[in-house]
């Protein structure tokens, strides 16, 4: 148990082929490997909880993040999920997603979002003192808007 501190090179290569999510305590790292940034790098971003003092009117306390995951509607999306520190669980109940994230292992879950909207979730594994500070926000938009 705990023989490897990180995923094997084969598993890391597999993760690079697909949309993947890497959990770290309080930080969620998202990557869109099929898309490149302006400087030809793989598109990656971190997603942090928005502090209550920075919330805009109408935003939900303890559920809003600074960078949302954007998905096209009516498109199958596969998430490759892992963890960089402890066991987490990526959960977005309104989309029917719940997938455990283990250090050094890759799990996957597929989703098909049928409509535009905003969907909220959280880490559903008691993973540490800041467990309640790991919200997930997935925003579904039209394919045209997604590609622009």
Whichever domain contains 111, its CATH number is 2.60.40.420
Q: Is the pLDDT of residue 55 over 90?
A: no
4 within some domain: no
pLDDT number for residue 5? 45
**Domain extent at residue 61:** 9-147
132 within some domain: yes
Mean pLDDT of 108-119: 92
Tell me which of 75 and 16 has the higher pLDDT.
75
DSSP letter at 10 equals: H
Total domains present in the chain:
1
What is the value of pTM for the model shown? 0.70
92 within some domain: yes
104 within some domain: yes
Tell me which of 8 and 88 has the higher pLDDT.
88
The three-state secondary structure class of 14 is helix
Label residue 60 by pLDDT band (50, 70, 90).
confident
2 within some domain: no
Label residue 18 by pLDDT band (50, 70, 90).
very low
1 within some domain: no
Q: How far apart are CA 76 and CA 18, in angstroms?
A: 12
Of these ranges, 29-43, 101-115, 119-133, the one predicted with the greatest mean pLDDT is: 101-115
């Amino acid at each position: 148990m705990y023989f490897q501190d990180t995923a094997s090179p084969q598993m890391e290569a597999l993760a690079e082929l697909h949309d993947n999510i890497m959990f770290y305590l309080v930080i969620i790292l998202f990557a869109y490997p099929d898309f490149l940034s302006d400087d030809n790098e793989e598109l990656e971003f971190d997603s942090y909880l928005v502090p209550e003092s920075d919330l805009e009117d109408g935003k939900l306390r303890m559920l809003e993040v600074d960078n949302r995951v954007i998905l096209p509607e009516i498109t199958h999306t596969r998430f490759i999920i892992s963890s960089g520190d402890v066991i987490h669980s990526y959960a977005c109940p309104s989309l029917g997603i719940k997938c455990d994230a283990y250090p050094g292992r890759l799990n996957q879950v597929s989703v098909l979002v049928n409509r535009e909207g905003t969907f909220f979730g959280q880490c559903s594994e008691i993973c540490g003192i800041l467990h309640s500070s790991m919200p997930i926000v997935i925003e579904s938009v039209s394919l045209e808007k997604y590609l622009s």
